[in-house]
Amino acid sequence: MSIIQPRTLKGFRDYLPATMAAREEVVATARRVYRGFGFAPIDTPALEYSEILLGKGGDESDRQMYRFKDHGGRDVALRFDLTVPLARFAAQHAARLGIPFKRYHVGPVWRGENTQRGRYREFVQFDFDTIGTESLLADVETLVVVHDLFAELGLSEFVIHFNNRDLLNGLLEGLGLSEQADSILRSLDKLPKIGIDGVRSELATAAGASPDQAEAILALAGLQGSNDEVLTALPAIVGDTSTARAGMAALESVLEGVRASGVAEERIRVDVSIARGLAYYTGTVFETFLTDVPGIGSVCSGGRYDDLASLYTKQRLPGIGGSLGVDRLVAAMEELGMVDDSGAAADIFVALFVADRAGDYLSLAAELRSAGLSVELYPDARKLGAQMKYADRRGHQLAVIIGEDEWERRTAQVKTLATGRSVEVPLAELTQRCSELLEASS
């Protein structure tokens, strides 16, 4: 029989225990934080009718979509984010759920992206969103959730950059370039990648901006300084349209609310260069950067999308939320040395020493577990050296070794693997003593 080569698709990857244990911790922490603000869990299918997903993220996201015909000839596609399915979900279930509706949702999304940029075609996002209110309090809360999430994850060096799309929209209105807004947004979103000259030339070629128009746009995107400096400088740069004024007022009000929520000034930054590539965003937009892992890009992004659900319902369902890039964050934490490589090993390793005592070892393992300890029993009566090598590699803390002699004397050798020290313990006291040794070594 010929062997099938065991391999994953280009742009896809397996996750081994150390990385997955870290992902589980990130997800558990995010869940606790989201729940702390009253968000509740939902799930939606990986596959949707293509018409639900097409045209929502923009041309690029349409091109990258995994789209095919199912058994019934339906035109279907794998979701490329969790926001568009949420808008569909909200339109479908709002009457039953009531608004405001606050939900979180964790799951994989798929984008047939160019993998040369170090991106994967399948990655896990963990989103939270508030549907059914235009209140800026929801914008404030979104940023506070992100703040609390990163603080809880133990990441000390992060900054949330936020902006309001109405600033640029207002400026473009004044410049008579509103029709080209999507194309201009896409160019600005590439600023970190292609630089200011690259954006300048794209603004001319793709959006037909004159040199003066391009400079006005770049003056906005290039504005930097402290939060208060930026807010002070903005009026002269964005001009005096009502849209621009609304954008500035929103920016100021959100900053005030975030400060009132106790977020330190160095964790939040008004950054008018933040554009966000996806087409559906309206007001507030944000990205989150880890200053000690600069190369990795934003690890938590989002914004307001007040018109997205109107594609599916006549009910007005504005929304705002954020999306944690779980896999990207775990990669950053690996880079920061925050991930240990034991991959959730059990506390205690029990060697299988006397094959025909299997029932005794099983019974012993069950007893230890019933006291809340985690126990791995080796399944084969191999040489003790091989079993101990396995336990060392796996990262257990204690090894329990019982030979025929010990069984007869009703004792066990308990070895602390980090130090190599062994003690002999009566079986009647084994649970108690293992608990103490684990406590001492933690």
Find the binding residues for its own copies in span 175-234 (CB under 8 A): none
Tell me how far apart the terminal alpha carbons of the chain are, to the nearest angstrom: 50
Q: Which is nearer to its own copies, 33 or 220 (CB)?
A: 33
325 close to 193: Cβ distance less than 8 angstroms: no
Nearest distance, CB of residue 157 and its own copies, angstroms:
21
Residue 38 makes contact with its own copies by CB under 8 A:
yes
CB 192 to its own copies: min, Å: 26
Which range binds its own copies by CB under 8 A, 162-170, 173-181, 272-280, 386-394?
386-394
Return the range that interacts with its own copies (CB under 8 A); candidates 106-114, 243-251, 276-284, 404-412. Answer: 106-114
> Does position 313 bind its own copies by CB under 8 A?
yes
Nearer residue to its own copies within complex by CB, 260 or 423: 260
- Which DSSP letter does residue 284 get? E
Taking a C-beta distance cutoff of 8 angstroms, is the pair 281, 169 a contact? no
Work out whether 315 is an interface residue with its own copies (CB under 8 A). no
Among 95, 260, 418, 423, binds its own copies (CB under 8 A): 260
Q: Give yes or no for residue 8 binding its own copies (CB under 8 A).
A: yes
Using CB under 8 A as the binding rule, whether residue 369 contacts its own copies is answered as yes
State which of residues 26, 30, 82, 91 lies at the interface with its own copies (CB under 8 A): 91
User: What minimum distance in Å lies between the beta carbon of 227 and its own copies?
Assistant: 16
CA-nearest of 371, 435, 361 to 398 is 435
Coil, helix or strand at residue 416 = strand
For the bound state, the minimum distance from the C-beta of residue 222 to its own copies, rounded and expressed in Å, comes to: 31
Q: Does 117 bind its own copies (CB under 8 A)?
A: no
| Residue 17 in the binding site for its own copies (CB under 8 A) | yes
**Which of 190, 259 has the CB closer to its own copies?**
259
Q: How many residues bind its own copies (CB under 8 A)?
A: 109
Q: Does 95 bind its own copies (CB under 8 A)?
A: no
- Residue 43 is a binding residue for its own copies (CB under 8 A): yes
Nearest to 158 by CA among 325, 43, 32, 364: 325
**Chain-centre distance of CA 357, in angstroms?**
47
**Phi (first) and psi of residue 304, to 5 degrees:** -95, 140
Confirm if 11 and 108 have CB atoms less than 8 A apart: no
Q: Identify which range of 46-54, 169-177, 195-203, 431-439 contacts its own copies by CB under 8 A.
A: 46-54
Residue 91 in contact with residue 313, Cβ under 8 Å? yes
How far is 246 from 55, CA to CA, in rounded Å?
A: 27
Q: Which two tokens stand for residue 251?
A: 């920016």
Tokens 């009026």 map to which residue? 235
Instruction: Figure out which of the listed residues 26, 30, 82, 138 binds its own copies, where binding follows CB under 8 A.
Output: 138
**Tokens encoding 234:** 């903005």
Q: Tell me the DSSP string of 23-41.
A: HHHHHHHHHHHHHHTT-EE
